[in-house]
């Protein structure tokens, strides 16, 4: 569900570390009650952006407003947000139950019953010190806090690190179920783009500190199509179009082309007996970020302003 | 305000760090000191015996101060706590811990005096210089000492977290050099007599008042540093 009410407004946000530009003059808004995928390569600036939005880190310049207010040292704003880092530190010698008891103190919408169900489902050992937990169990502690806190804006920073496929599925299922009952804004940063593609309603792609895409997942998917059928017929159809991926098996080909299909195109496809299949979001995003990299002259160089539109053309 | 109180509860959720470890160290140091006094007494020495074992639990607070920042501060950020709430709540938790130790020390000192040093003329809590102004003075002295040592740990950890190991080392080496210069100057100008009589004149309470001033300054520096610290 997309409401059009912004909960986060970012204007010209820049973050410079000594010799690197982590976030480069970024402006975007995040809408209320929507699940966002914050996607991008390692070091693209995902964690930096999330820590600045939650006032854990500081902007070099630019303006960040959450619920219309500045988040820094603002308990009214912060108490409505939850951001558990991928490399979150916990108090010395703390057990998982200590961490959850703390979260219960600070998050007004905390649901203890939900937390306990998640502990059970993730099979989290409650009597082992957090620092002795495995990577996956450590991630589970963060995931449980993020879900059960039910904050109005929840950030998940690579929440699946070390989680096995079953645990990841539990996370996706519970997130969607709980989101349906208690709508809220979720910003999920992830590398596993295809795995989360059914979860996210909007994609926010960040590359080299710039936002290169902020669109609904459906609109992104519409930007390309997979044409499947007889190889010769497929080749005839894709001639002159930009092909980003091709697979063939015998006489059957599956080719991904960029560009929205027009009604004419669809008629042509039907006449040729070709099928249209959905495109992998991952392929599209990879393509977008590669494009952005190619059109950027230097590592910290500027990306043309029209890249948002031009990236996929 | 209630969120600041919640920070106290967060720091105390795992009572091991703030309560049980200092008390355990105190109990052990006390037991060992008492055993030594008993051995000395049984070998016919008249006493009175004094020991420095009562410092031990105070130094534990240095590490409590360090870990309450290096580990609990990043966690408090994940709990969406402001830096101000974290700072005030953490110092409040430390003050409660220091007050607990101060009460134990003051009561221990009273028992010691009432029993003539546990019957063996050995003193762990009631050092003459500390108890000369009564149990309240002694409690104040120990409270300030505990807070000062906690704040030293907290302050060091804040500098480390914000500016890195190099700056922290430079600061501590700088403090060491200043102390060395002071000792050299006092020795060179033969002022030790004056220094000792001034300290004796100050008494435990006067000394603690100065300690409190240093604590407040260190805490203020820590807060200003923490305001821009990234977890």
Q: What is the pLDDT of residues B99-158, one digit of tens each?
A: 999 999 999 999 988 998 888 888 899 888 888 888 899 999 999 999 999 999 999 999
Edge-first strand listing for the sheet containing A35-39: A81-84, A153-157, A185-190, A35-39, A202-207, A210-216
List the 9-28 stretch of B: residues with Cβ below 8 A of A.
9-11, 13-14, 16-17
Look up the CATH number of the domain holding residue A184.
3.40.50.300
Q: Is the pLDDT of residue A97 over 50?
A: yes
Taking CB atoms and an 8 Å limit, are A102 and B10 in contact across chains? yes
Q: What percent of chain A has pLDDT over 90?
A: 69
Answer whether residue A300 is part of any domain: no
Answer whether residue B231 is part of any domain: no
Whether residues A101 and A160 share a domain: the answer is: yes
Answer whether residue A205 is part of any domain: yes
| End-of-domain residue from the set A216, A235, A255 | A216
Q: Using pLDDT thresholds of 50, 70 and 90, give the confidence band for residue A309.
A: very low
Question: Chain B: nearest CA to A153, how far in angstroms?
Answer: 11
Distance CA A210, CA A192 (A): 20
| End-of-domain residue from the set A216, A235, A263 | A216
Judge whether A105 and B9 are in contact, CB under 8 Å.
yes
Instruction: Give residue B1's pLDDT.
Output: 66
Count of domains observed in chain B: 1
Whether residues A137 and A22 share a domain: the answer is: yes
Q: Full-prediction pTM beyond 0.80? A: yes
Q: Using pLDDT thresholds of 50, 70 and 90, give the confidence band for residue B198.
A: confident
Whether residues A173 and A269 share a domain: the answer is: no
Instruction: Give residue B54's pLDDT.
Output: 85
Q: Is the pLDDT of residue A192 over 90?
A: no
Instruction: Give residue A299's pLDDT.
Output: 40
Answer whether residue A103 is part of any domain: yes
| End-of-domain residue from the set A169, A191, A216 | A216
Q: Is the pLDDT of residue B12 over 60?
A: yes
Answer whether residue A178 is part of any domain: yes
Instruction: Give residue A311's pLDDT.
Output: 35
Q: Is the ipTM of this complex over 0.90?
A: no
Q: Using pLDDT thresholds of 50, 70 and 90, give the confidence band for residue B46.
A: confident
Residue pLDDT, tens place only, B80-95: 999 999 999 999 999 9
Name the token pair of A86: 């991928």
User: How many helices, marked H, and strands, marked E, lie in chain B?
Assistant: 10, 2
Answer whether residue B7 is part of any domain: yes
Answer whether residue A153 is part of any domain: yes
Whether residues A139 and A255 share a domain: the answer is: no
Answer whether residue A39 is part of any domain: yes
Instruction: Give residue A291's pLDDT.
Output: 62
- Domain housing A91: 6-216
Nearest CB to A84: which of B70, B78, B85? B78
Count of domains observed in chain A: 2
Answer whether residue A229 is part of any domain: yes
Instruction: Give residue A149's pLDDT.
Output: 98
Q: Is the pLDDT of residue A298 over 60?
A: no
| CA distances in angstroms from A312 to A42, A96, A220, listed in the order given | 21, 45, 9
- Domain housing B79: 2-226
Instruction: Give residue A53's pLDDT.
Output: 97
- Whether B225 contacts chain A with CB within 8 A: no
């Amino acid at each position: 569900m997309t409401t059009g009410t912004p909960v986060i407004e970012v204007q010209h946000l820049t973050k410079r570390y000594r010799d690197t530009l982590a976030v480069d003059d970024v402006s975007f808004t995040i809408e209320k009650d929507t699940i966002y995928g914050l996607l991008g390569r390692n070091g693209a600036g995902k964690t930096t952006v999330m820590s600045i939005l939650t006032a854990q880190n500081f902007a070099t310049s630019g303006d960040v407003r959450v619920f219309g207010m500045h988040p820094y040292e603002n308990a009214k704003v912060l108490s409505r947000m939850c951001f558990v880092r991928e490399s979150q530190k916990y108090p010395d010698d703390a057990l998982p139950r200590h961490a959850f008891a703390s979260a219960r103190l600070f998050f007004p919408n905390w649901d203890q019953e939900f937390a306990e169900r998640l502990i059970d489902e993730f099979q989290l050992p409650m009597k082992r010190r957090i620092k002795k937990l495995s990577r996956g169990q450590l991630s589970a502690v963060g995931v449980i806090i993020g879900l059960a806190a039910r904050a109005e804006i929840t950030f998940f920073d690579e929440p699946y690190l070390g989680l096995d496929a079953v645990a990841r599925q539990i996370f996706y299922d519970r997130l969607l179920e709980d989101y349906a009952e208690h709508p809220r804004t979720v910003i999920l940063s992830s590398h596993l783009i295809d795995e989360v593609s059914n979860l996210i309603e909007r994609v926010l792609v960040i590359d080299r500190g710039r936002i290169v895409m902020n669109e609904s997942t459906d609109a992104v998917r519409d930007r390309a199509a997979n044409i499947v059928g007889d190889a010769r017929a497929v080749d005839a159809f894709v001639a002159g179009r930009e092909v980003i991926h091709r697979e063939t098996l015998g006489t059957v080909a599956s080719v991904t082309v960029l560009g929205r299909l027009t009604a004419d195109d669809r008629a042509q496809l039907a006449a040729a007996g070709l099928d249209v299949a959905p495109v992998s979001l991952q392929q599209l995003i990879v393509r977008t970020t590669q494009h952005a990299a190619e059109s950027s002259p230097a590592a910290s160089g500027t990306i043309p302003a029209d890249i948002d539109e031009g990236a996929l053309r | 305000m209630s969120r600041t109180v919640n920070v106290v509860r967060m720091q105390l959720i795992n009572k091991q760090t703030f309560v049980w470890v200092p008390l355990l160290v105190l109990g052990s140091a006390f037991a060992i000191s008492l055993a030594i006094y008993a051995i000395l007494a049984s070998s016919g020495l008249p006493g009175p015996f004094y020991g420095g074992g009562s410092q031990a639990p105070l130094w534990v607070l240095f590490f409590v101060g360090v870990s309450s920042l290096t580990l609990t501060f990043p966690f408090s950020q994940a709990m969406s706590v402001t830096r101000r709430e974290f700072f005030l709540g953490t110092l409040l938790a430390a003050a409660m811990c220091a007050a607990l130790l101060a009460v134990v020390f003051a009561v221990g000192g009273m028992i010691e005096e009432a029993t003539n040093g546990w019957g063996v003329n050995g003193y762990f809590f009631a050092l003459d210089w500390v108890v000369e102004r009564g149990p309240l003075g002694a409690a104040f002295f120990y409270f300030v000492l505990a807070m000062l040592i906690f704040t030293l740990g907290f302050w060091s950890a804040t500098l480390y977290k914000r500016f890195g190991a190099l700056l922290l080392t430079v600061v501590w080496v700088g403090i060491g050099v200043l102390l060395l210069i002071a000792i050299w100057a006092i020795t060179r100008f033969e002022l030790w007599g004056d220094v000792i009589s001034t300290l004796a004149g100050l008494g435990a309470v006067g000394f603690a008042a100065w300690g409190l001033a240093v604590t407040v300054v260190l805490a203020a520096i820590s807060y200003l540093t923490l305001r821009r610290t990234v977890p």
